[in-house]
Amino acid sequence: MRGLAVAVLAAGVAVAPSGCGEQDDEVVRVGFSQFAAEGSWRAANTASVRAALAPAGGFELEFSDQEQKQEGQVADLRRFIADDVDVIALAPVVQDGWDEVLGEARDAGIPVVLVDRGITTDLPGAYATRIGADFRSEGERAGRWVREHAPGARVFELQGTLGSGAQTGRQRGFDAVAGDQVVGAATGGFTRAGGRDVTAAALEAWPDVDLVFAHNDDMALGAVEAVRAAGRRPGVDVRVVSVDGTREGLRALAAGDLEHVVECDPAFGEQLAGVLRRVAAGERVPDRVVVPGREFDRTVTAAEIDARTY
């Protein structure tokens, strides 16, 4: 199935290969390199992808989790190539440094789909598409909320893993709208402990900070802990704006500990399954599949919080 699929993709042909109807019934062998289980968003993303790529859906999944290590993900991709999977799904921990291994996948005729985060590459045809949120828009929407509701606030930007698509996109978006309000920034690595420790240090370094823009909910919850530990009141002395929309994040929003949350939806496993099936069958797919997200404020209801799956 896959040799034909890649030939069609490379030729840029917009039709499915002949015999595609019979091939739809075939099992699609997928190698999925996830980079971590660092928090609740990532766990939900992994669960959604694994459920959608189950044998009942016609998939055979080789799954790997690499503890935030790019070298481990490169090794994953080489193993998937050696195993001759039909298609590779890569959730890249950082943006840079993928060209060599993606060139190997391309030479082996195995298409790659980026999951969640994007990459920077000079390699033509490095990947078929990327499915995931628009991180820049998330940062812009958080910035617009700050501009409108806290125009005089002095902002500490609690960034995600440096060099990751989620960090660079959210930073660029926020800075484009409210960058002049940022007095300091540091990374908390997208983890709750990182968010707590880095915010504690920031409140000492910049005592006049009165708003934290956290690149995800886990770090935002850590920031709230640090604000309290510093003897200051979250939501009163220091406001916290965040991205994700986890159940715990929305509970903190309803309780007044967070101000505003831009949603980043991790549960796109079914959409990914459709894309992988099409790519493996040699169909053309859009270069980019955007997973939409809404925004939450203090009007969030108990029913909305209970309905969260993560």
Binding site for ligand AHR (CB under 6 A): 38-39, 41-42, 116-117, 166, 190, 216, 243-244, 264
What residues form DSSP beta bridges with 218? none
Q: How far is the CB of 132 from ligand AHR (least distance, A)?
A: 7
Residue 190 or 296: which CB sits closer to ligand AHR? 190
Beta-sheet pairing, 211-214 with 182-187: unpaired
Q: How far apart are CA 36 and CA 194, in angstroms?
A: 15
Between the alpha carbon of residue 167 and those of residues 13, 39, 174, 268, 295, the distances in Å are 35, 15, 11, 20, 19
Task: Show the tokens assigned to 241.
Answer: 């704006």
Beta-sheet pairing, 288-290 with 129-132: parallel
Q: How far is the CB of 112 from ligand AHR (least distance, A)?
A: 17
Q: How far is the CB of 1 from ligand AHR (least distance, A)?
A: 30
Residue 39 or 234: which CB sits closer to ligand AHR? 39
Task: Show the tokens assigned to 276.
Answer: 């992988």
Q: How far is the CB of 202 from ligand AHR (least distance, A)?
A: 19
Q: How far is the CB of 284 from ligand AHR (least distance, A)?
A: 26
- Are 75 and 49 contacting, i.e. CB atoms less than 8 angstroms apart? no
Residue 23 or 34: which CB sits closer to ligand AHR? 34
Q: Which residue's C-beta sits nearest to ligand AHR?
A: 41
Q: How far is the CB of 11 from ligand AHR (least distance, A)?
A: 32
> What single-letter DSSP state applies at residue 128?
S
Task: Show the tokens assigned to 294.
Answer: 């809404």
- Are 9 and 111 contacting, i.e. CB atoms less than 8 angstroms apart? yes
Give the H or E element holding residue 28: strand 28-34
Q: How far apart are CA 169 and CA 174, in angstroms?
A: 9
Residue 135 or 156: which CB sits closer to ligand AHR? 135
Residue 150 or 220: which CB sits closer to ligand AHR? 220
Residue 38 or 86: which CB sits closer to ligand AHR? 38
